[in-house]
């Protein structure tokens, strides 16, 4: 039974990933909030940016789920907004990877990080989050090359997903319908869809895939109807 470290498994895509994997994998979850108990789950309550990370001997896969949706006009974005988004999306992910690089190497591990559809197309008010998520994609490609025979690194770039992180964008039926109409497939992503792609990238059947960024965007980037 493989051991998967999920950072941010208490809500959203991370919670869905834990639900997908928990019956067939050992899960180590790191998050500030508790998650539902299960015989295959070990939970650590901590803040990954500020707290000391636990020592873990065996890790076959790592998924870093925390992120931000900080949408403001550039005139209202402060430098601290850019710094905070970068800390959440990039610095904390790098801290986790550095901490567990040896157990990942020892087990031919797989790492999955998250970007956003906004790195592939210009979207107003996305300057800060797009900047930090573009950095995530750069980290993934660089580390995929650096550890090519030892660890696979991949990235998922979803469009807006029906999670608590996006609830401000989907807070009523009019906004939900408007969001659907922006996508050629006229749908909003469910967290289970994104989690299932992450589970695939962690698995042995994806053993030849590394250094890739996978959009899951209901056709937003590639299709124009």
> Closest Cα to residue 158, out of 83, 79, 69?
69
Contact 209, 154 (CB under 8 A): yes
Fill in the DSSP letter of residue 68.
Answer: -
Instruction: Answer yes or no: is 175 within a domain.
Output: no
pLDDT at 123: 87
Number of separate domains in the chain: 1
Instruction: Answer yes or no: is 173 within a domain.
Output: no
Instruction: Answer yes or no: is 167 within a domain.
Output: no
> Closest Cα to residue 67, out of 51, 84, 46, 79?
84
Instruction: Answer yes or no: is 59 within a domain.
Output: yes
pLDDT at 134: 97
Fill in the DSSP letter of residue 140.
Answer: H
Residue position matching structure tokens 């015989």? 39
**Domain containing residue 63: CATH number:** 3.40.50.720
Question: Residue 68 sits in which domain range?
Answer: 3-161+189-216
Instruction: Answer yes or no: is 7 within a domain.
Output: yes
Instruction: Answer yes or no: is 126 within a domain.
Output: yes
pLDDT at 170: 65
> Closest Cα to residue 44, out of 58, 27, 25, 22?
27
DSSP string, 1-51: --EEEEESTTSHHHHHHHHHHTTTSEEEEEESS-----TTEEEEE--TTTS
- pLDDT mean for each 10 residues of the chain (225 residues): 96 95 97 93 96 96 92 94 96 98 97 94 91 98 98 95 72 76 85 96 98 93 83
> What pTM was computed for the model?
0.93
What distance in Å separates the CA atoms of residue 219 and residue 127, rounded to the nearest whole number? Answer: 22
User: What are the Cα distances from residue 79, in Å, to 59, 76, 100, 127, 204?
Assistant: 36, 10, 30, 11, 42
Instruction: Answer yes or no: is 208 within a domain.
Output: yes
- Residue 70 token pair: 């900080």
DSSP string, 190-224: -HHHHHHHHHHHHSGGGTT--SEEEEESTTTTT--
What distance in Å separates the CA atoms of residue 182 and residue 111, rounded to the nearest whole number? Answer: 31
Instruction: Answer yes or no: is 222 within a domain.
Output: no
């Amino acid at each position: 039974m493989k051991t998967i470290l999920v950072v941010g498994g208490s809500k959203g895509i991370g919670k869905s990933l834990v639900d997908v994997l928990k019956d067939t994998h050992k899960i180590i979850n790191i998050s500030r909030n508790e998650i539902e108990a299960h015989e295959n789950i070990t939970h650590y309550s901590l803040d990954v940016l500020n707290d000391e990370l636990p020592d873990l001997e065996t890790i076959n896969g790592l998924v870093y789920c925390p992120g931000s949706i900080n949408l403001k006009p550039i005139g209202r974005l402060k430098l601290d907004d850019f710094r905070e988004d970068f800390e959440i999306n990039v610095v904390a992910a790098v801290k986790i990877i550095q901490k567990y690089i040896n157990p990942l190497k020892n087990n031919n591990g797989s790492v999955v990080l998250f970007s956003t559809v906004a790195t592939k197309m210009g979207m107003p008010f996305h300057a800060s989050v797009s900047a930090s998520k573009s950095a995530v994609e750069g980290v993934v490609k660089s580390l995929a090359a650096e550890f090519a025979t030892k660890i696979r690194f991949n990235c998922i770039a979803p469009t807006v997903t029906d999670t608590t992180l996006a609830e401000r964008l989907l807070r009523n039926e009019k906004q939900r319908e408007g969001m659907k109409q922006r996508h050629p497939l006229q749908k909003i992503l469910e967290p289970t869809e994104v989690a299932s792609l992450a589970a695939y990238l962690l698995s042995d059947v994806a053993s030849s895939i590394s250094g890739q960024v996978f959009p899951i965007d209901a056709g937003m980037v590639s299709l124009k109807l």
